[in-house]
Amino acid sequence: MDQTSPASNASVALVTGAAKRIGRAVALELARAGFNVVIHYHHSLDEAHATAAAIQQSGHSAWLVSADLNDATAAGQILQFVQQQAGRLDVLVNNAAEFTPMSLDNFDAARWQQTQQINLVTPLALCQAAAPLLRQQRGVIINFLDIAIDRPWKNYLAYGASKAGLEYLTRALARALAPEIRVNGVAPGITVFPDDYSDEQRRQLTSPVPLQRPGTPEEMAHAVRFLVEAPYITGQIIRVDGGRLLV
């Protein structure tokens, strides 16, 4: 864990999985909104440094914190770092996730447990650990879900179940933490394809989308910023899917 720049009195956001893809876009968008940002990453150190550098160029502070979200102690370690380095927390974005194929035929209990730990248990632990700091600032929690909560995928059982659980927790925590803390969710549609997807696979997945294209990380980040800045919205799930749910 390391600090990449000194703190200021600006509001602070913690984004998990912020080194690249959607997490990076969220971190940069929140910096544009005036936040200092704590960038959580696991293995992607070079990308995390690049994200921090981009935030610093915008005139805001950035800190790097490395943690394995499959470790039951990760949430406490991350929040201890936030407290020590930033001294406050205004926004928590649970973005990091494990996306591993699993069908009924290749069910693996160990991988199931790992997916639930990373996608469901640790986000809940982060919410619990962050609550005291967030209450002080009347803060916001944003959980990243997936349109798989509406359209189950038979080959991603562990992933889909974890996101469905996180949807329930989002609504339950919105009640439990009100009125001091607002809790909402963003459910992306097709956004960033896995690197090994062929052009044909990408076309097949995109063709049913009414807007006829995948979303972008920046569009997901805009939804996060909207929810952060919407003071009378809590317990809601915004689907940013190009209209895919309609089909």
Domains present along the chain, CATH in parentheses: 2-246 (3.40.50.720)
HSE-CB of 148 using CA atoms within 13 angstroms: 20
Q: Rounded CA gap, 137 and 84, in Å?
A: 17
Q: For residues 190 and 242, is the Cβ–Cβ distance under 8 A?
A: yes
Per-residue pLDDT of the chain (247 residues; tens, 9 = 90+): 455 544 467 999 999 999 999 999 999 999 999 999 999 999 999 999 999 999 999 999 999 999 999 999 999 999 999 999 999 999 999 999 999 999 999 999 999 999 999 999 999 999 999 999 999 999 999 999 999 999 899 999 999 999 999 999 999 999 999 999 999 999 999 998 878 888 898 898 899 999 999 999 999 999 999 999 999 999 999 999 999 989 8
Catalytic residue numbers, as ranges:
156
CA-based Rg of the chain, rounded to a whole angstrom?
Answer: 17
Three-state SS for 51? helix
User: Which residues in 30-149 belong to E strands, given as ranges?
Assistant: 36-41, 62-66, 91-94, 140-144
CA distance 228 to 182: 9
Half-sphere exposure of 211 (CA within 13 A, CB side): 13
Q: In whole angstroms, what separates CA 173 from the centre of its chain?
A: 16
Instruction: Please tell me the pTM assigned to this model.
Output: 0.94
The pLDDT assigned to 8 comes to 60
Question: Which pLDDT belongs to residue 175?
Answer: 98
pLDDT at 19: 98
Q: pLDDT at position 193, please?
A: 83
Nearest to 78 by CA among 159, 13, 143, 27: 13
Q: What are phi and psi of 38, to 5 degrees?
A: -95, 120
